[in-house]
Amino acid sequence: MRKFQDGRLSLLIICLLLLCCGRDSNESAPTAPEITEGGPPNIDEWTLIFIDDFTGDKLDRKLWDPYYTWGKSGTVERHHNYDATVLEENIIIENGLMRLKCEKDTQNKHEYTYSSAAVTATRFVCKRGYYYESRQKIPRGWTDGEFKNGLWPAFWLNGRNSWPPEIDIHEFFGGNTFYHATIHSADATEENNNIQIAAATATTEFNIYGLHWRDDDRLDFYYNNELQGSLNEPDPYDHKVMIINFGIHGPKDPHDWLGNASNNAYPIYFDIDWVRVWRKK
């Protein structure tokens, strides 16, 4: 009898292990708030699996790291943001917003001309089949023309262990009124394939930027829940990390095509209202 009970216990343990191993690593869904804006098409067919409404007074370190995740601690790779030093103190959580602050390093405390901020959802595994979205207000530079004001805010997915691949949900290249959704690929025929999307109120209002990374490896890009266009995702990579960063061009950065950032009024803020990721039920 004891041997039979031990056998049943062993079988139960094996079944539990198999069940756990078969689960999606993102299966533990957060408590879903009432959704009054945003969401994927046919929202009833989806489950919310990642959310941050920034309701506290500090960054949720269970969800985000306050830097890029490549490079060793303290190195340029971890703290370099074009011509800015990435600082955790430049991430401000207040009034239901995450505010990424950029300002001049007037006291020459750091290696670069400016200080700025970046966050990476390191522990969340980004996969095909998911819908990614965030409601954001883009920092306003001194001119509306693209490649002129030196600011480079972005919302994107990057390979967890390599580059490429990269999927840019949005990048504002030194301008205020339109952005690029871009693929960076190991496939030379697809590298830098992009869609230019008009966003007239990007710096004056909050807008929703979305991506459906489809199971058939098509990328559907959304602006305020309206489909703007699609691209192929050609790389045989699946898992990525989600990043929001505030880049800036300056005299110590070779990206001179971004324009002159010195004419902007500082400090300047990239405001994020919420971030969500959905998965089909």
Q: Residue 78: which pLDDT band, with cuts at 50, 70 and 90?
A: low
- Between 2-11, 169-178, 236-245, 262-271, the lowest mean confidence (pLDDT) is in 2-11
The average pLDDT across 155-184 equals 93
pLDDT digits (tens, 9 = 90+) for 242-261: 999 999 999 998 878 999 99
Q: Does the domain made of 2-280 have the CATH classification 2.60.120.200?
A: yes
Range scoring the smallest mean pLDDT among 68-72, 101-105, 120-124: 68-72
For the chain, which residues make up each domain, given as ranges? 2-280
pLDDT of residue 228: 98
Handedness of CA 64, 67, 68, 71 (dihedral sign): negative
- Please report how many Cα atoms fall inside a 13 Å half-sphere around the Cα of residue 237, on the Cβ side: 22
- Burial (CB < 10 A; 0-12, 13-18, 19+), residue 181, is buried
